[in-house]
Amino acid sequence: MKDFQVPKRVLLGPGPSPVDDRILRALSQPLLGHLDPLFLEIMDEIQVLLRKVFETKNRLTIPISGTGSAGMEASLINVLEPGDKAVVCIHGVFGERMFDIVGRTGAEPTAVRAEWGRPVDVNQIEDALKQTRPRVLAIVHAETSTGVLQNLKGLSELANRYGALLVVDAVTSLGGHPVSVDANGIDVCYSGTQKCLACPPGLSPITFSDRAVERIRARGHKVQSWYLDMSMIEKYWGSDRSYHHTAPISMNYALLEALRIVQEEGLEARWARHELNHRAFVTGIEAMGLSMLVAPGSRLWSLNAVSIPEGVDDQKLRTHLLEHQSIEIGGGLGPLKGKVWRVGLMGAGSTRENVVLALGAIHDALKAQGYDCPSGVANAERVYDRGEQATGG
Amino acid sequence: MKDFQVPKRVLLGPGPSPVDDRILRALSQPLLGHLDPLFLEIMDEIQVLLRKVFETKNRLTIPISGTGSAGMEASLINVLEPGDKAVVCIHGVFGERMFDIVGRTGAEPTAVRAEWGRPVDVNQIEDALKQTRPRVLAIVHAETSTGVLQNLKGLSELANRYGALLVVDAVTSLGGHPVSVDANGIDVCYSGTQKCLACPPGLSPITFSDRAVERIRARGHKVQSWYLDMSMIEKYWGSDRSYHHTAPISMNYALLEALRIVQEEGLEARWARHELNHRAFVTGIEAMGLSMLVAPGSRLWSLNAVSIPEGVDDQKLRTHLLEHQSIEIGGGLGPLKGKVWRVGLMGAGSTRENVVLALGAIHDALKAQGYDCPSGVANAERVYDRGEQATGG
């Protein structure tokens, strides 16, 4: 009976991101029952730490027992009912996904679109709100498919003015960028564990404002999903502790350990680390003569979309990185397929060591295809050496 | 930074069941990307081994990225559309849950009820099928809330006669009892990982017959859940490998290792082990003067519902077991709350050692409450010693 083993990849794609050994050890702890007093304590601590990372006081803050897309679904279907209207901002795969989910609730979605690679225009959002007076305004904070960071400032005032709840996808930002649920007036916010929280995929942290909870209480119809019905799930995570479904015990161990690590580092320090490594990476990429898909000011620190130069074979380069250096980077999705690489510098993967490694490896892999360009490594190193706070490997 | 640690419980409740160290080691392997060629190989092997444990040739056989209840929801919402009819058999919590989910699809459920602790009557099922000519007949094979095993023989002929698909909940039977999807003509069957498959909770193995897949293809409406929409999920698990949601990588490692262990033991040997340990346990319980909730012939091997004797405090006894011996057993749900204990002998937990331990511990805990009865341990030991195949500890 040989043991199950997989090689250690350098995960610099759109997620999962690399996971600290501490978290893997937590994951492999013996099982507890889902109503064991010790597990209930673990749940309590997870809630406390999730509130810290979301920067919220929201009581209803829990991990959904599914990946980020389950959180997306839970966030929309619990506050929308058949006949409701929703404005959905679309500037990538995940906005499209929100739009699809809204349609399945029996609500009527209105799309506000931006070109993939650009943020959504606030004036267009306001026009759509004015026209439709929707129940919900849904927007992706960190578009994993394009690397765009959407500025959240002012959105809650807009949403409030037209009577809408603000639903925000923070899958690729939570723990790497400020999300600041309360300060930004977000009503429903969800994330995934496998990005900047640096935990394996399988859970989706989610938080509902009191206003969103009131909306849930005022529903006229049952939520279309039993599995994701917050009115029942909150009884297990609340003081009732009444059984809903069996929680994914081991994944909750991992999440708790991941949240403790975030706490130990501190949110500000973590954001600064993500920003610095992003800046060094972009400096290196541009020194190589390559360009970023997204304009400065709208770039995610956690997900870097690099335009693929003319004449370079996308798949061949990514296979080269994987086979020669065991490095994973992501390809483009939808209209960006073959046009960008998505380089994730997320969670434990956002390090100086990985930036230098990725820049060197991409340079080598380009060379292997006969594409000649300068190396960007020294330029990236200078960003770190410029007296700025370096980050551990 | 102290490491995350939990004590090792003896998990003899309704699940999660104890998990082999091999599986915990698999769980803690480094992460792979969800499109990494090595992960795709893991997915292929999972599918091959899931077909073996379900005893099916069904192409569409995968683990759903959620716990057993997500599998229940996926099994019903993919084959039902608004306006459809469904006959739902209810003899415990999980039949009630199916009924609730069917209602949320916009389909019209008809209940066929049996007293909790008894199987559902086939004649009543036929009457309901005859009257409603439904799209679906849904039934729980192993009612975790009561310990009842529902005989599946003849149900597919009945369902076929009236044009219904047969949907079966095998959460607490798969890997411990024969489920035999193809031989029993089951159209949709789902399970959970944390019962007789002896893996942590977090995934729900599911299988769809070609007839069920045709039904999905013929749908007029989108499935109400994006996350559980099999027409999209099957493209990731099929030859397309197109991204749907990020698979819970680590949980899939664990499932693969769990399925390999099932394969190494052999299905027949595993069923025989579950049966023998169940028989020894029941012999011990009855020798103590206690009684089983379920009549012989309808008892699950994996979940043993013991009637709580008059005058004994349910919660006090369970707390005693947990605090003094770190043993978890389950309490009753719904109308059986305070009336039964649910003792799980599932997967790696179904051992002679655990049977002896549980009988001794229950005896001690009863004594601590002043309830005097003989010990059942020697009687149970005799079942093993009667020349029958013993099982490892």
- What pLDDT, on the 0 to 100 scale, is given for residue A43? 97
Best of B5, B6, B46 to disrupt the A interface (most A CBs within 10 Å) is B6
Q: B9 and A3 in contact by Cβ < 8 A?
A: no
Residue A391: pLDDT band by 50, 70, 90 thresholds? Answer: very low
The mean pLDDT of chain A is 96
Q: B4 and A256 in contact by Cβ < 8 A?
A: yes
The Cα A34–Cα B69 span in angstroms is 14
| CB contacts, 8 Å: B322 with chain A | 36-37
Low-confidence ranges of chain B (pLDDT < 70): 1-2, 387-393
If you write DSSP's letter for every residue of B280-347 in order, what string do you get?
HHHHHHHHTT--BSSPTTSB-SSEEEEEPPTT--HHHHHHHHHHHH-EE-EE--GGGTTTEEEEE--G
Q: Which residues on adjacent β-strands are paired with residue B165?
A: B136
If you write DSSP's letter for every residue of A156-199 in order, what string do you get?
HHHHHHTT-EEEEE-TTTBTTB---TTTTT-SEEE--SSSTT--
Taking the CA atoms of chain B, what radius of gyration do you get in angstroms? 21
For residue A12, what is the nearest residue in chain B, using CA coordinates? B33
| CB contacts, 8 Å: A3 with chain B | 22, 25-26
* Annotation: CATH topology of B20-264: Aspartate Aminotransferase; domain 2 (3.40.640)
Give start-end residues of each CATH 3.90.1150.10 domain in chain A.
Answer: 266-385
The H-assigned helical ranges of B32-121 are 37-54, 68-77, 93-104
Contact B184, B158 (CB under 8 A): no
- What pLDDT, on the 0 to 100 scale, is given for residue A386? 87
Q: Is A337 on the interface with B (CB under 8 A)?
A: no
Selected from 3.40.640.10, 3.40.50.700, 3.40.50.720, 3.90.25.10, the CATH number assigned to the domain covering A21-264 reads 3.40.640.10
User: Residues 17 to 36 of B: which have CB under 8 A from any A CB?
Assistant: 17-19, 22, 24-34, 36
Tell me the pTM. 0.97
Q: A200 and B6 in contact by Cβ < 8 A?
A: no
The Cα B49–Cα B65 span in angstroms is 17
pLDDT per residue as tens digits for the range B313-367: 999 999 999 999 999 999 999 999 999 999 999 999 999 999 999 999 999 999 9
Q: Is A224 on the interface with B (CB under 8 A)?
A: yes
Give start-end residues of each CATH 3.40.640.10 domain in chain A.
Answer: 21-264
* Chain-centroid distance, C-alpha A242: 30
Is the predicted pLDDT of residue A167 greater than 60, yes or no? yes
Is the predicted pLDDT of residue A188 greater than 70, yes or no? yes
| Residues B194, B192, B317, B294, Cα dihedral to 10° | -130
pLDDT per residue as tens digits for the range B190-236: 999 999 999 999 999 999 999 999 999 999 999 999 999 999 999 99
User: Per the structure block, which two tokens stand in for A95?
Assistant: 């906005």
Name every residue whose Cβ is closer than 8 Å to that of residue B50 and which is 6 or more positions away in sequence.
B61, B62, B63, B205, B207, B259
Percent of chain A with pLDDT over 90: 96
Name every residue whose Cβ is closer than 8 Å to that of residue A95 and which is 6 or more positions away in sequence.
A88, A89, A111, A138, A139, A140, A143
pLDDT per residue as tens digits for the range A30-40: 999 999 999 99
Give start-end residues of each CATH 3.40.640.10 domain in chain B.
Answer: 20-264
pLDDT per residue as tens digits for the range A337-347: 999 999 999 99
Residue A388: pLDDT band by 50, 70, 90 thresholds? Answer: low
In this structure, how many other beta carbons lie within 10 angstroms of the beta carbon of residue A307?
Answer: 17
User: Residues 265 to 304 of A: which have CB under 8 A from any B CB?
Assistant: none
Q: A4 and B18 in contact by Cβ < 8 A?
A: no
pLDDT per residue as tens digits for the range A337-374: 999 999 999 999 999 999 999 999 999 999 999 999 99
Is the predicted pLDDT of residue A23 greater than 50, yes or no? yes
Q: B251 and A250 in contact by Cβ < 8 A?
A: yes
If you write DSSP's letter for every residue of B205-250 in order, what string do you get?
EEEE-HHHHHHHHT-SS--S-STT-HHHHHHHHSTT---SS---HH
Is the predicted pLDDT of residue A248 greater than 50, yes or no? yes
Q: B16 and A33 in contact by Cβ < 8 A?
A: yes
pLDDT per residue as tens digits for the range A99-152: 999 999 999 999 999 999 999 999 999 999 999 999 999 999 999 999 999 999
Architecture of domain A266-385: Alpha-Beta Complex (3.90)
Contact A18, A224 (CB under 8 A): no
Tell me which H or E stretch contains B127: helix B122-132
- What pLDDT, on the 0 to 100 scale, is given for residue B388? 54
The Cα B118–Cα B153 span in angstroms is 16
Q: Which residues on adjacent β-strands are paired with residue A328?
A: A11
Q: A31 and B13 in contact by Cβ < 8 A?
A: no
Q: B6 and A66 in contact by Cβ < 8 A?
A: no
For residue A4, what is the nearest residue in chain B, using CA coordinates? B26
Residue A392: pLDDT band by 50, 70, 90 thresholds? Answer: very low
